[in-house]
Structure formats: C-alpha cells, structure tokens
C-alpha cells in the first residue's frame, strides 16, 4: 500500500519532470542557426543556378552560411542576420563559429522580406579579409566579390579566381542579393554559449574545438565539398 509520503514524493517527481521536459526539448538560438545552415546547404545542392557548388566548395578556404537574412534583423531600418563561419582545414571542416552580417540595405528584390545566403571564400586573401572583424564586403581594396548571376561560371573559369562568391535564395528562388557594404562581425558570446566556455573566434575555427551537435553540419558540408 502506498503511504501518503510516497504519493506526495511521486507527485513531486512528476511535477519536476513536467517542468524540465520543455527545457530539455527546447533548442538554443545557436543550434537553430546551425541546423538552419544545413538547410541552406541542401537548398544550394538542389539549385540549378549553382550547379558547380560542389566544385567551389572543394576549392573554398571557408564558408559563411546565414540561414535567414531579415529586413530589420540587424539594426533598426537595416537588414541582417546571424550565421556560422567554417574553415576548410587539412583534417576537414572546422567547427562552426558564430558571425553576424548587417547593412543599411542588402538590395533584396522588391517584396522580399527574407533570404538565405552562403558566402564561399575561395582565396587566402579573401579569408584573411573576412576574418578581420568589421570586414566590409566589397569595400576592402583588392578583395573581389562575385554574386551569383553576375558571371560566376566565367569568373571561375578565367585566369584569376574571385576571392568571394555569394549565393542567395528566397523561398527557393534566386534572391538577387547584393551584399556590397555589409559588415561581417564575429559573435564570441554566441560561441561561448554554444561551446560552454570562453573562446576566441580563432580558437573555434583553427583550434581543437568541436561539439557533437555540430557534427551533422560538418558531415553534410564535407559530403558536398
């Protein structure tokens, strides 16, 4: 026979379980960004406009993936979003480091409120530039940026390779994104929240940092490039 104490104890355990369950199921905003980056890769894989994505990824020094660029997402009256940067190392792709991109205007097509973007960084010069905090796309002298729809195939096949290639999509369609003048900034607070300790952006991209939660993204990126 159950005693009153046992009944109360069981009830308390159930209550604790009910309170803990939502938190256990909830995803952090950082994990939402990481999982969103996987969706961007899948969209890129199936976009006929960018059929040479695999080739470019194999050549890339790094990628910057932004699952959701929003109007008003970076500053009031501006546009932007959070994303992940990953470096192509000798042992494969690095763990994702968190970065944000923002600008007064990205030049989204009329009527579009959001887009997804992947930035393929193809040269060491481009990587050095992007990893410099407060990097402005298309403004730094000597770093060339090509947007899908402005001669990517010709540029890749030419004598010199562009430093950065930008692809974007809005609801499955080419979004015509223009990123000139936008700023890319590291987000060490998000890195610390995701990995559970204080890290520099360099630690994440070039050090022995990893998380099982990021393994599916690294695996998918490796399969593509």
pLDDT, one tens digit per residue, over 199-222 is: 999 999 999 999 999 999 999 998
What is the Cα–Cα distance from 89 to 55, expressed in whole angstroms?
Answer: 16
Alpha helices in the chain (DSSP H): 4-25, 29-45, 53-59, 124-130, 152-157, 188-195, 201-206, 215-224
Question: How much is the pLDDT for 173?
Answer: 43
Work out the average pLDDT over 105-113. 50
- Span 117-138, pLDDT tens digits: 889 999 999 999 888 867 887 6
Asked whether residue 5 is assigned to any structural domain, the reply reads: no
Work out the average pLDDT over 182-195. 93
Residue 141: band (very low, low, confident or very high) from pLDDT cuts 50, 70, 90: low
Based on DSSP, count helices (H) and strands (E) in the chain, helices before strands.
Answer: 8, 10
Mean model confidence pLDDT for the chain = 75
Which residue segment(s) compose the domain that 74 sits in? Answer: 28-224
Question: How much is the pLDDT for 209?
Answer: 93
Q: Are 35 and 96 in contact (CB under 8 A)?
A: no
Asked whether residue 6 is assigned to any structural domain, the reply reads: no
Asked whether residue 190 is assigned to any structural domain, the reply reads: yes
Asked whether residue 12 is assigned to any structural domain, the reply reads: no
Work out the average pLDDT over 15-43. 70
Cβ neighbours of residue 109 under 8 Å, at least 6 residues apart?
A: 170, 175, 176
Asked whether residue 131 is assigned to any structural domain, the reply reads: yes
Question: How much is the pLDDT for 45?
Answer: 77
Q: Which range in 55-59, 141-145, 213-217 is most confidently predicted, on average pLDDT?
A: 213-217
Crossing angle (nearest 10°) for helices 29-45 and 188-195: 100
Asked whether residue 22 is assigned to any structural domain, the reply reads: no
Question: How much is the pLDDT for 51?
Answer: 60
Please state the domain count of the chain.
Answer: 1
Strands 145-147 and 164-170: parallel
Q: Which range in 65-69, 149-153, 169-173 is most confidently predicted, on average pLDDT?
A: 65-69
Residue 81: band (very low, low, confident or very high) from pLDDT cuts 50, 70, 90: confident
Q: Are 195 and 70 in contact (CB under 8 A)?
A: no
Question: How much is the pLDDT for 156?
Answer: 56
Asked whether residue 143 is assigned to any structural domain, the reply reads: yes
Asked whether residue 19 is assigned to any structural domain, the reply reads: no
Enter the tokens of residue 76. 């009031």
């Amino acid at each position: 026979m159950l005693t009153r104490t046992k009944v109360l104890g069981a009830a308390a355990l159930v209550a604790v379980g009910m309170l803990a369950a939502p938190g256990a199921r909830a995803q952090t905003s950082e994990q939402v960004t990481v999982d969103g980056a996987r969706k961007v890769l899948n969209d890129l894989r199936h976009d006929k406009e960018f059929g040479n994505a695999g080739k470019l990824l194999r050549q890339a020094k790094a990628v910057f993936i932004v699952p959701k660029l929003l109007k008003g997402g970076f500053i009031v009256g501006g546009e932007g979003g959070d994303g992940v940067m990953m470096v192509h190392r000798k042992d494969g792709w690095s763990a994702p480091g968190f970065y944000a991109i923002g600008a007064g205007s990205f030049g989204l097509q009329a009527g579009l409120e959001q887009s997804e973007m992947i930035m393929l960084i193809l040269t060491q010069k481009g990587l050095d530039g992007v990893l410099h905090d407060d990097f402005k796309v298309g403004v730094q002298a000597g770093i060339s940026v090509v947007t899908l729809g402005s001669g990517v195939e010709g540029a890749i096949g030419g004598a010199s390779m562009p430093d950065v290639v930008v692809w974007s999509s809005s609801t499955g369609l080419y979004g015509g994104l223009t990123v000139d003048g936008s700023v890319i900034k590291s987000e060490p607070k998000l890195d610390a929240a995701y990995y559970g300790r204080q890290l520099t952006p360099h630690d994440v991209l070039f050090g022995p940092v990893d998380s099982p939660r990021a393994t599916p993204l690294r695996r998918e990126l490796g399969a593509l490039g």
